Structure 1
């Protein structure tokens, strides 16, 4: 089980990096946009530099950040309602968590396949973004890869829970 666990942890760290980098880009783009708009306003338009496509850039990097965060922390993504689970044995909770993780595997695969297909369509038909007119293919493909990483991590976590019965339990950690 160790190689699978190491693979899962490696994917998690990679996705944390991608999510963090995406958030940094979002903050930097927003700051640059606000500053340039403010300078434009202060100079009554004589300073004509503004960042075009900021909303588009921020929205696509938000997509990357969310997909990466979901893949990075899929094992902690369940909200457990105490009223339904407080009297359940730990083993049953584990099996339920493993089933949910397998469901996330299926969802991740559906997302990955759909985004891959959208990327191929964007490449074939020349679909571009609205403001920046850049190809949508890389955006779809990065999203497909992140969704595939979600599926892989969810499958590994599901297998691990089925084999060991151990899972992240928010009730026990107080999270």
Structure 2
């Protein structure tokens, strides 16, 4: 159980790093684009500087940040409906949460497979982004990797919640 928790924490840290870097890059692109547009306006059009492909960059960075954040916080992202779980024991609540996470395993796996297949198609056809002409295959592959991390972390927490549920006092029920 400790090994599963350790692996999950390390994967969460990696995902948070990816999400944070993607958010910082997205903010940097947005700030640079706004400042350069302001410079263009203040110069009366004399300085025609811009961030080429800023919308495209923000779109893919947002996708990476969202997928990484989902994978990083999968164990904290459930909405508990107290009306349905009010009378249940903490162990049963934890086990139900673990079973619920199996849905995220399926979702992450389906998305990972779909994005990986799209990456193969994009590589075969030589698809590139519209503005920057970047190859689409690596973008899809990185998205597939993040979806696979979502599925893996969901599986780890489903196992921890279902088979290693505690009663709140640290006593494990197997």
State the TM-score, normalized to the length of structure 1: 0.92
Query: Match for residue 122 of structure 2?
Result: 122
Q: What is the alpha-carbon distance in structure 1 between the residues aligned to residue 76 and residue 116 of structure 2? A: 26
Q: Helix, strand or coil: the match of 1:112? A: helix
Instruction: Kindly indicate whether the alpha-carbon contact (under 8 Å) linking 2:95 and 2:163 is maintained by their aligned counterparts in 1.
Output: no
Runs of 5+ unmatched residues, structure 1: 169-175
Query: Match for residue 152 of structure 1?
Result: 152
Query: Match for residue 27 of structure 2?
Result: 27
Instruction: Kindly indicate whether the alpha-carbon contact (under 8 Å) linking 2:96 and 2:162 is maintained by their aligned counterparts in 1.
Output: no
Query: Match for residue 77 of structure 1?
Result: 77
Count residues in correspondence. 168
Q: What is the alpha-carbon distance in structure 1 between the residues aligned to residue 167 and residue 116 of structure 2? A: 31
Instruction: Kindly indicate whether the alpha-carbon contact (under 8 Å) linking 2:108 and 2:147 is maintained by their aligned counterparts in 1.
Output: yes
Rate the CA distance shift 1:45–1:17 in 2: closer, same or farther, 3 A.
same
Runs of 5+ unmatched residues, structure 2: 169-174
Instruction: Kindly indicate whether the alpha-carbon contact (under 8 Å) linking 1:160 and 1:166 is maintained by their aligned counterparts in 2.
Output: no
Dislocated runs of 4+, deviation >3 Å: none
Q: CA deviation at 1:92?
A: 2.2
Q: What is the alpha-carbon distance in structure 2 between the residues aligned to residue 140 and residue 167 of structure 1? A: 41
Q: Give the aligned CA root-mean-square deviation in angstroms.
A: 1.5
State the TM-score, normalized to the length of structure 2: 0.92
Q: What is the alpha-carbon distance in structure 2 between the residues aligned to residue 160 and residue 96 of structure 1? A: 11
- 1:112 pairs with 2:112: yes
Rate the CA distance shift 1:91–1:59 in 2: closer, same or farther, 3 A.
same
Query: Match for residue 136 of structure 1?
Result: 136
Instruction: Kindly indicate whether the alpha-carbon contact (under 8 Å) linking 1:97 and 1:167 is maintained by their aligned counterparts in 2.
Output: no
Instruction: Kindly indicate whether the alpha-carbon contact (under 8 Å) linking 1:95 and 1:162 is maintained by their aligned counterparts in 2.
Output: yes
